[in-house]
Amino acid sequence: MAEGEEEVKYASVVFKAGNNPPPAEKRGEETVYGEVKVQNETKSEDSAGRRRFQHLACCLGILCVILLGGIIGVCVYRVQELETEKKNLKQQIQNLTTKWNELSISRAQWSIDSYCLGNTDKKCKACQDGWLLTQPSCYAYNDAKSHNKKTWEEAQEDCRGKNSDLAVARDSEEKEAIKTNRIGNEAFWIGLRVVNKKWKWVDGSDLTERSWIDPPDPADGHCAVFGRNTDKWYSVRCGWTNQWICQKKALSV
């Protein structure tokens, strides 16, 4: 070695990996792996959620189908019930119609017999037995005793049962007919009463001659009677009991 030169020594230094951070390349690989793992977990959760939703939707669809089938079944059953009820009602109506026709024929025959049978001259009469004729009507004077007298409503019901009404006098001729055929001196109901503070006949027509009745303007609840030995009618309470006069159209013979 030349004089004046210094001796240089070399040493090898080895660094051991300890807590020192990994190289940047490796850190990048770990980061990418971490991100991929998180994304895969998220996708798995989404798939599971979709499957649960699909199962739920499928169950709801099945329930809807079952419910709809039940509703349709109930509707069909109810329609069948209604059809059965309709048929039963038609049959009942038909039966009632048949019975009514039979009753009408029987009643008509009875009515004809009552006008025509038992007459010595073998001719039909204009009025039935017990009825008095003053054209164009027949009159029945029901001179019931005290315990058989009736209220106005009861008397009208009795006349209806005889295919007639309480007597109506629309003009002076009919008024005179009632007077002429009257029996005895008792008061008789006629078909006149107060409705809404107006005198009305049973056929709904108004009394045109208010001078025929006394008093002319009574309150509701009053009905008319044909008085004793007088041309006037009198207003009394409809609940009183009296004898009564029925009237029906005479038969044309």
232-242 pLDDT per residue, tens: 889 999 999 99
pLDDT (0 to 100) of residue 35: 52
Q: Give yes or no: residues 146 and 99 share one domain.
A: no
Q: What is the pLDDT of residue 114?
A: 62
C-beta separation of 154 from 243 below 8 A: no
User: In this prediction, what percent of the chain has a pLDDT beyond 90?
Assistant: 26
Residue at 141 is within a domain: yes
**Residue 99, in any domain of the structure:** yes
Of these ranges, 59-73, 97-111, 155-169, 214-228, the one predicted with the greatest mean pLDDT is: 155-169
Strand duo 213-214 + 165-166: pairing: unpaired
Model pLDDT, residue 126: 85
Does residue 188 share a domain with residue 108?
no
Q: Are residues 157 and 210 in the same domain?
A: yes
Question: 108: part of which helix (H) or strand (E)?
Answer: helix 24-116
Same domain, 44 and 114: yes
- On whether residue 105 sits in a domain, the answer given is yes
Residue 104 covered by a domain: yes
Give the per-residue pLDDT at 102. Answer: 54
Asked if residue 81 and residue 148 are part of one domain, the reply reads no
Residue 37 has pLDDT above 60, yes or no: no
| Strand (E) or helix (H) holding 213 | strand 213-214
Are 145 and 176 found together in one domain?
A: yes
Q: Quick check: 172 pLDDT over 80? A: yes
Mean pLDDT across the chain? 78
Alpha-carbon distance of 60 to 66, in angstroms, equals 10
Alpha helices in 117-171 (DSSP H): 152-161
Q: Which domain holds residue 101?
A: 23-124
Mean pLDDT of 42-70: 81
10 within domain boundaries: no
The answer to whether residues 215 and 180 belong to one domain is yes
CATH of the domain at 197: 3.10.100.10
Least confident of 49-63, 66-80, 117-131, 239-253: 117-131
Residue 71 and residue 84: Cα distance in Å, rounded? 20
Residue partners of 114: CB distance under 8 A and separation at least 6: 128, 129
Q: Tell whether 18 is covered by a domain.
A: no
**Final residue of a domain: which of 69, 94, 124?**
124
Could you tell me if 95 and 141 lie in one domain? no
DSSP H or E stretch at residue 124: none
Q: What integer is the mean pLDDT of 53-59?
A: 84
| pLDDT at res. 3 | 47
Regarding whether 106 and 160 lie in a shared domain, the answer is no
Find residue 206's DSSP bridge partners: 200
Q: Over 70: is that where the pLDDT of 207 sits? A: yes
| Total structural domains within the chain | 2
**Is residue 185 one of the residues assigned to a domain?**
yes
Handedness of CA 125, 127, 133, 136 (dihedral sign): negative
pLDDT, average across residues 181-197? 85
For the cut 90, the answer to whether the pLDDT of residue 95 exceeds it is no
Domain assignment present for residue 67? The answer is yes
Residues 141 and 171 grouped into a single domain: yes
Class of residue 220 by CB neighbours under 10 A (exposed 0-12, middle 13-18, buried 19+): exposed
Q: What is the DSSP letter of 150?
A: B
Whether residue 2 has pLDDT greater than 60: no
Q: What percent of the chain has pLDDT over 70?
A: 69
